[in-house]
């Protein structure tokens, strides 16, 4: 059993980063680690300070996923290699972060800076203190507070609820507190839920704020004119005061203002994005956006908005006695915020000495936008057995290149509620949005597809694709509130405005959300996945889903995949019990009709290869968990039936069995289920049957798009290729079939000809 391993920090900054706060999400095999205290990270022969959180356990209660915060010295212009061991250590204590409660008052400490937090029931305010060279705390007399403004001009300030602050992580490396509440107007009305999560890091003067807004009101829509985070200084700047605002793409452009007259402003809007060239993958980095206020010889504050360009519009205003970040500026058209939608935005709050060079503030801001992340070898994920078996025994470069291009060359959308998703132009041109964009809503689980790619190739941007898409799914694609219980907690189907569609079992996915939880330890992702599960349990009670043949095979097929993922994650029997009902239904369906036939016209029941393949692939996941031989036989029968009835003479599968629908277009999920038939039988006929489709797919290069940008529906669209649905839909089938074909000896890499 593996008791140690390595990680590498790729070369990133040209500057040394001393005691840099970093994190690691480590998968472990069953039985390897029971007590997280028996874990350590080493830099050569020196143990590093670290803090562990178990995010998932195996059925034997050993650790499946371990999230680790640690401090490390990273050299400029060099990579850094560390090792991890399943053994305890006693690293030297070098400062600590903590949540401190004294007489009911809560403060967040890093050892060199402090945030004093407001009391339950009060307007949410944060006050800053600095500690220099072991001296006593120096309170700055300042105040941070968030608010929003509606279309009538009413200002709503965040008010902490009576539950007050909850400790998410006590430290000592990374301390986190969280508070919830509603915004309140001056006349006492309350509207718009919020969650504020605050982070402190040992020995560092900066704090991260995660401000999440959620529309849980009875109104179908709220018109938002402005959302802002305001920092109010205790007194105005003197005539020697300094202010600056900055934004960057390639090199940071900084504007400065001396003295205490006027207001310094900076904005990012659609026009700026349309006419600015950016060649970076924006999930990993686009640029930065910060404002700074300082009194020389005393103190200052630098505030950075995370991914401001991507989640545009944004604005900064720095006055003589304040610094404001407009998370949605009043200069933009009012934002229609629909019921059930949430959105998280992040800021770096950096109180500093008044003589801190602006260049240093800029470097920290850039580091915040693109932090160092350690990379584990693919063998670590493979040996831990925490993901599907997508590990090939030979490299087939045409397949690898195709998948990387699909992942990278995607349609993207910048915008407050759009970043992390994109419209699907096929759905849109079909008229499904009645003239508006039809947003994918992360259909087919884009986050999980990105996780699989990251585990296989270790390329940093794949992890960032997971983080960005997963957060959009968690915030926007899932309905967090509705008076309709069939919508509440559901991931909504691809639709206009993200949420105009309904909820159905065939369009809800949780594996990527669970990945997001494992790699970030953010329990919002886990709770969102569990909420989807609760919604599925309710939807599955509908009469059409209780009878075999009452719906398409994908309806309960996709639901089965999500329920099984939740069972693996939690071990709760109810998820498996509901899965057993679905499995039994597929048995009866097969016996009654001879195949998983679906209703189409009023007088037909037909085979739909794509939907049957989805069901077979989900049943295979049940087989992995239970080793139920009868389920394995069911998968093989389904594939034999498809080969007999839906495979054309050209070696490709029909779209649907009906004579009017026998054009080729079954998609690639049939390849995944053929791979499982191979796994169960070791009969190469299933691989040979899928090879024409595989080779035809790889021979047709993905649509790379024009690269054009245009503004529409409060979004800036970047036409970089197909919608994210394509990557999400193709990756698992191609990986599974490629792996099986390599095992069968039918996939041989020939780099010169590209033939198999």
Q: Which two tokens stand for residue 720?
A: 């970089």
Q: Which two tokens stand for residue 32?
A: 């390897």
80 & 159 share domain: no
Give the pLDDT of residue 144.
97
- Which of these, 369, 403, 190, 194, lies nearest to 285 by C-alpha position? 369
Average the pLDDT over each of 229-233, 269-273, 416-420, 648-652 and give the range with the smallest value. 648-652
Is 726's pLDDT higher than 50?
A: yes
pLDDT digits (tens, 9 = 90+) for 337-375: 999 999 999 999 999 999 999 999 999 999 999 999 999
Indicate which CATH number applies to the domain containing 62. 2.60.40
pLDDT digits (tens, 9 = 90+) for 61-101: 999 999 999 999 999 999 999 999 999 988 777 678 999 98
pLDDT digits (tens, 9 = 90+) for 550-562: 788 889 999 999 9
Q: Which domain holds residue 60?
A: 4-85
Strand 105-109 to 113-117 pairing: antiparallel
| 3-state DSSP assignment of residue 713 | coil
Q: Which two tokens stand for residue 427?
A: 């759905």
Give the pLDDT of residue 134.
67
Is 583's pLDDT higher than 50?
A: yes
pLDDT digits (tens, 9 = 90+) for 298-342: 999 999 999 999 999 999 999 999 999 999 999 999 999 999 999
- Which of these, 682, 739, 676, lies nearest to 392 by C-alpha position? 739
In a domain? residue 30:
yes
CB 592 within 8 A of CB 548: yes
- What does the alpha-carbon distance between residue 579 and residue 621 come to, in Å, rounded to a whole number? 11
4-31 per-residue burial string, b: 16 or more CB within 10 A, e: under 16: ebebebeebbeeebebbbbbbbbbbbbe
Give the pLDDT of residue 114.
96
In a domain? residue 497:
no
Q: Any idea which residue has 């470069």 for tokens?
A: 397
In a domain? residue 495:
no
347 & 201 share domain: yes
Give the pLDDT of residue 135.
73
- What does the alpha-carbon distance between residue 393 and residue 410 come to, in Å, rounded to a whole number? 28
66 & 184 share domain: no
Number of domains in the chain: 2
156 & 269 share domain: yes
Strand 289-294 to 322-328 pairing: unpaired
Alpha helices in 370-459, H assignment, sequence order: 378-384, 397-408, 425-429, 446-457
In a domain? residue 66:
yes
- What does the alpha-carbon distance between residue 634 and residue 115 come to, in Å, rounded to a whole number? 59
197 & 313 share domain: yes
Q: What is the mean pLDDT of the chain?
A: 95
Q: Which of 349, 369, 389 is the last residue of a domain?
A: 369
169 & 24 share domain: no
Q: What angle do CA 444, 449, 450 make, to 5 degrees?
A: 135
pLDDT digits (tens, 9 = 90+) for 610-620: 999 999 999 99
206 & 303 share domain: yes
80 & 224 share domain: no
- What does the alpha-carbon distance between residue 12 and residue 371 come to, in Å, rounded to a whole number? 9
Give the pLDDT of residue 2.
58
- What does the alpha-carbon distance between residue 71 and residue 721 come to, in Å, rounded to a whole number? 39
pLDDT digits (tens, 9 = 90+) for 451-460: 999 999 999 9
Arithmetic mean of pLDDT, 21-47: 97
Arithmetic mean of pLDDT, 201-221: 97
Q: Which of 85, 101, 135 is the last residue of a domain?
A: 85
Q: Which of 343, 369, 395 is the last residue of a domain?
A: 369
Burial class (CB in 10 A: 0-12, 13-18, 19+), 269: middle
Which one has a higher pLDDT value, 614 or 752? 614
Going through 329-482 in order, the beta strands assigned E by DSSP cover 335-338, 342-353, 412-414
Give the pLDDT of residue 750.
57
In a domain? residue 556:
no
209 & 307 share domain: yes
| 3-state DSSP assignment of residue 90 | coil
- What does the alpha-carbon distance between residue 40 and residue 108 come to, in Å, rounded to a whole number? 26
Contact partners, residue 622, CB within 8 Å, separation at least 6: 560, 564, 579, 583, 628, 631
Give the pLDDT of residue 752.
44
Indicate which CATH number applies to the domain containing 162. 2.70.98.60
DSSP states of 572-598: -HHHHHHHHHHHHHHHHHHHHHSS--E
- Give me the residues paired with residue 195 across strands: 180, 212
170 & 59 share domain: no
- What does the alpha-carbon distance between residue 34 and residue 52 come to, in Å, rounded to a whole number? 13
- What does the alpha-carbon distance between residue 77 and residue 518 come to, in Å, rounded to a whole number? 30
In a domain? residue 519:
no
Is 751's pLDDT higher than 60?
A: no
Is 252's pLDDT higher than 80?
A: yes
In a domain? residue 24:
yes
In a domain? residue 639:
no
699-715 per-residue burial string, b: 16 or more CB within 10 A, e: under 16: eeebbebeeebeeebbb
- Which of these, 182, 178, 180, 188, lies nearest to 217 by C-alpha position? 182
What is the gyration radius of the CA atoms in the chain, in angstroms? 27
Give the pLDDT of residue 753.
43
| 3-state DSSP assignment of residue 28 | coil
304 & 199 share domain: yes
Give the pLDDT of residue 102.
86
78 & 176 share domain: no
């Amino acid at each position: 059993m593996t008791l140690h391993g390595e990680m590498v920090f790729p070369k990133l900054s040209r500057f040394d980063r001393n005691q840099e706060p970093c994190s690691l999400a480590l998968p472990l095999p069953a039985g390897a680690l029971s007590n997280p205290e028996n874990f350590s990270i080493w830099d050569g022969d020196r143990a590093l300070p670290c803090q562990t959180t178990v995010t998932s356990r195996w059925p034997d209660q050993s650790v499946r996923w371990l999230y680790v915060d640690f401090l490390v010295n990273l050299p400029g212009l060099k990579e850094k290699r560390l090792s991890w061991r399943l053994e305890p250590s006693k690293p030297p204590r070098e400062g600590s972060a903590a949540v401190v409660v004294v007489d009911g008052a809560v403060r967040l400490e890093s050892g060199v800076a402090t945030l004093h937090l407001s009391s339950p029931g009060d307007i949410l305010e944060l006050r800053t203190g600095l500690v220099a060279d072991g001296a006593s705390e120096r309170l700055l007399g300042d105040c941070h507070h968030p608010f929003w403004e509606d279309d009538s001009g009413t200002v709503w300030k965040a008010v902490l609820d009576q539950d007050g602050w909850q400790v998410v992580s006590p430290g000592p490396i990374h301390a986190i507190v969280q508070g919830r509440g509603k915004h309140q107007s001056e006349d006492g009305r309350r509207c718009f839920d919020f969650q504020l999560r605050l982070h402190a890091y040992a020995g560092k003067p900066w704090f991260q704020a995660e401000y999440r807004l959620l529309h849980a009101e009875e109104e179908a829509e709220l018109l938002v004119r402005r959302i802002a985070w305001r920092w109010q200084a205790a007194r105005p700047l003197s005539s020697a005061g300094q202010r600056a605002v900055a934004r960057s793409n390639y090199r940071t452009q900084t504007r400065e203002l001396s003295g205490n007259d006027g207001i310094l402003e900076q904005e990012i809007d659609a026009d700026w994005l349309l006419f600015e060239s950016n060649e970076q993958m924006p999930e990993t980095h686009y640029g930065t956006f910060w404002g700074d206020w300082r009194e020389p010889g005393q103190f200052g504050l630098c505030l950075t908005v995370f991914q401001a360009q991507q989640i545009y519009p944004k604005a900064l205003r720095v006055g003589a006695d304040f610094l404001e970040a407009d998370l949605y500026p009043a200069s933009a058209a009012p934002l229609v915020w629909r019921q059930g939608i949430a959105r998280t935005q992040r800021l770096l709050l950096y109180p500093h000495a008044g003589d801190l060079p602006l260049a240093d503030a800029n470097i920290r801001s850039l580091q915040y936008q693109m932090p160092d992340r350690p990379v584990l070898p693919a063998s670590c994920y493979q040996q831990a057995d925490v993901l599907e078996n997508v590990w090939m025994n030979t490299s087939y470069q045409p397949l690898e290149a195709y998948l990387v291009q699909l992942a990278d060359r995607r349609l993207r959308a910048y915008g407050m509620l759009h970043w992390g998703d994109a419209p699907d132009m096929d759905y849109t041109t079909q008229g499904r949005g009645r003239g508006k964009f039809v947003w994918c809503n992360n259909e087919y689980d884009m986050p999980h597809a990105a996780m699989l790619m990251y585990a296989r190739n270790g390329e940093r941007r794949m992890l960032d694709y997971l983080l960005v898409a997963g957060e959009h799914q968690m915030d926007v694609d899932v309905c967090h509130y509705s008076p309709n219980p069939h919508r509440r907690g559901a991931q909504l189907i691809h639709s206009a405005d993200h949420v105009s569609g309904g909820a159905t079992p065939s369009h809800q996915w949780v594996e990527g959300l669970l990945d997001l939880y494992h790699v970030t330890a953010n329990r919002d992702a886990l709770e969102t996945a569990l909420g989807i599960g609760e919604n599925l349990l309710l939807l599955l009670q509908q009469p059409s889903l209780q009878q075999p043949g009452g719906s398409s095979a994908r309806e309960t097929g996709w639901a089965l995949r999500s329920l099984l993922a939740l069972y693996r994650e939690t071990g709760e029997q109810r998820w498996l019990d509901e899965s057993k009902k679905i499995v039994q239904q597929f048995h009866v369906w097969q016996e009654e009709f001879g195949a998983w036939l679906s209703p189409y016209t009023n007088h037909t029941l037909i085979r739909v290869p794509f939907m049957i393949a989805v069901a077979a692939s989900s049943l295979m996941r049940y087989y992995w968990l239970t080793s139920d031989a009868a389920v394995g036989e069911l998968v093989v029968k389904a594939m034999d039936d498809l080969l007999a009835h839906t495979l054309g003479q050209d070696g490709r599968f029909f779209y649907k069995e009906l004579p009017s629908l026998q054009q080729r277009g079954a998609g690639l999920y049939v390849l995944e289920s053929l791979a499982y038939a191979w796994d169960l039988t070791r009969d190469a006929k299933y691989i040979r049957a899928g090879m024409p489709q595989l080779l035809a797919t790889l021979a047709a290069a993905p649509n790379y798009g024009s690269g054009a940008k245009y503004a529409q529906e409060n979004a800036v669209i970047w036409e970089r290729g197909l919608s994210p649905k394509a990557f999400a839909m193709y990756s698992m089938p191609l990986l599974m079939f490629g792996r099986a074909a390599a095992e069968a000896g039918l996939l041989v890499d020939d780099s010169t000809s590209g033939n198999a």
